[in-house]
């Protein structure tokens, strides 16, 4: 099942610079997308989401962009901080009569270099 | 901030035994989910639960698995006759009512089958 893909397993960014995490999907029926952050020994923590009717959503340092024609979304973190070092998962929802399972990508490990 | 609570954090069980994983969702949430993550693999959807019944389940969620909301606060996942391949992190999630509401995850239970 490769419906949601994160092709970069890891990313290193200098503190203060912009971090850009990417995610591609194949199912055009996905209608809601989420980014989660995960520290070791913890569960995924919700960061930010975007509905398929929008192309951008911003919350503080985090911005998610959605390009439906390319089936691509990205998460921008600016400025990057050491506490942002974690694994980031994108997830997509396919709403079907209220059923809302999430399909996850494999994750990208972000390391912020002080 | 309210959170999803899972117990135990680590469960070790002999193959063939039954195990119950427990979750306390966020108190005003009505939609509940179980996911699992086998080591090195993606987070995978198992089952969603609403209004005291299963609303969707994956092909993983066969007769070996069951879910229950025994009272107003707990949500449990029972695995009967456990197998070695059931070893994984199991995450509970919940969300509130409304369109485009994110699922919030607990810290997971690490299940080890010996």
Interface-testing mutation among A39, A101, A107, A109, with chain B (most B C-beta atoms within 10 A): A101
CB pairs under 8 A between A and B: 55
Which chain A residues touch B if contact means CB-CB below 8 Å? 1, 32, 34, 36, 41-46, 49, 51, 89, 91, 96, 98-107
- A contacts of B3 (beta carbons < 8 Å): none
Checking if the pLDDT of A99 tops 70, the result is no
Residue A16's region, left for phi above 0, alpha for psi from -120 to 50, else beta, is left
In the prediction, which pLDDT does B1 show? 74
Q: What is the mean pLDDT of chain A?
A: 94
Q: Do B55 and A102 touch (CB under 8 A)?
A: no
Locus of tokens 């439906």: A68
Average pLDDT score over residue span A9-27: 97
Helix/strand/coil for A83: helix
In angstroms, the separation between the Cα of residue B39 and the nearest Cα of chain A is 11
Residues of B in contact with A101 (CB under 8 A): 33, 45, 48, 56, 58
Tokens of B24: 């306390």
A1 vs A101 pLDDT, higher one: A101
Rg, C-alpha atoms of chain B:
13
Q: Which two tokens stand for residue B86?
A: 């059931």
- What is the C-alpha to C-alpha distance for residues B41 and B36, in angstroms, rounded to an integer? 10
Residues 82-111 of B with CB under 8 A from A: 91, 95, 100, 102-108
Q: What percent of chain A has pLDDT over 70?
A: 96
Tell me if B102 and A34 make a contact (CB, 8 A cut-off).
yes
Q: Is A38 exposed, middle or buried (0-12, 13-18, 19+ CB in 10 A)?
A: buried
A33-77 confidence digits (pLDDT tens): 999 999 988 999 999 999 999 999 999 999 999 999 999 999 999
Closest partner CB to B48 (pick from A43, A89, A101): A101
pLDDT at A95: 74
Q: Which of A19-33, A77-91, A98-112 has the lowest mean pLDDT?
A: A98-112
Count CB neighbours of A4 within 10 A. Answer: 24
What is the reported pLDDT for B13? Answer: 96
pLDDT block averages, 10 residues each, chain B of length 114: 92 97 94 95 94 92 94 93 97 91 96 97
Beta-strand pair A72-77/A19-25: antiparallel
B18 touches A at CB < 8 Å: no
Q: How far apart are CA B43 and CA B37, in angstroms?
A: 4
Output the pLDDT for position A98: 61
CA A23/CA A106 separation, integer angstroms: 10
């Amino acid at each position: 099942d490769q419906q949601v893909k994160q092709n970069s397993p890891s990313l290193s960014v200098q503190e203060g610079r912009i971090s850009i995490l990417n995610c591609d999907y194949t199912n055009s029926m996905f209608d809601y997308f989420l980014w989660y952050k995960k520290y070791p020994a913890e569960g995924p923590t919700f960061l930010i989401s975007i509905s398929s009717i929008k192309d951008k959503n911003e919350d503080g340092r985090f911005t998610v962009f959605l390009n439906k024609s390319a089936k691509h979304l990205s998460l921008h973190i600016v400025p990057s901080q050491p506490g942002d070092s974690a694994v980031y998962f994108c997830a997509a929802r396919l709403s079907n009569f209220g059923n809302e399972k999430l399909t996850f990508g494999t994750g990208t490990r972000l390391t912020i270099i002080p | 901030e309210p959170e999803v609570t899972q117990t135990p954090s680590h469960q070790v069980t002999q193959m063939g035994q039954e195990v119950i994983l427990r979750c306390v969702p966020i108190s005003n949430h009505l939609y509940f989910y179980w996911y699992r993550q086998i080591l090195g693999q993606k987070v995978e959807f198992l089952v969603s639960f609403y209004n005291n019944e299963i609303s969707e389940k994956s092909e993983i969620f066969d007769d070996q698995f069951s879910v229950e909301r025994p009272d107003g606060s707990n949500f449990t996942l029972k695995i009967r006759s456990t197998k070695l391949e059931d070893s994984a992190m199991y995450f509970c999630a919940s969300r509130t009512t409304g369109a485009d509401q994110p699922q919030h995850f607990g810290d997971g239970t690490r299940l080890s089958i010996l």
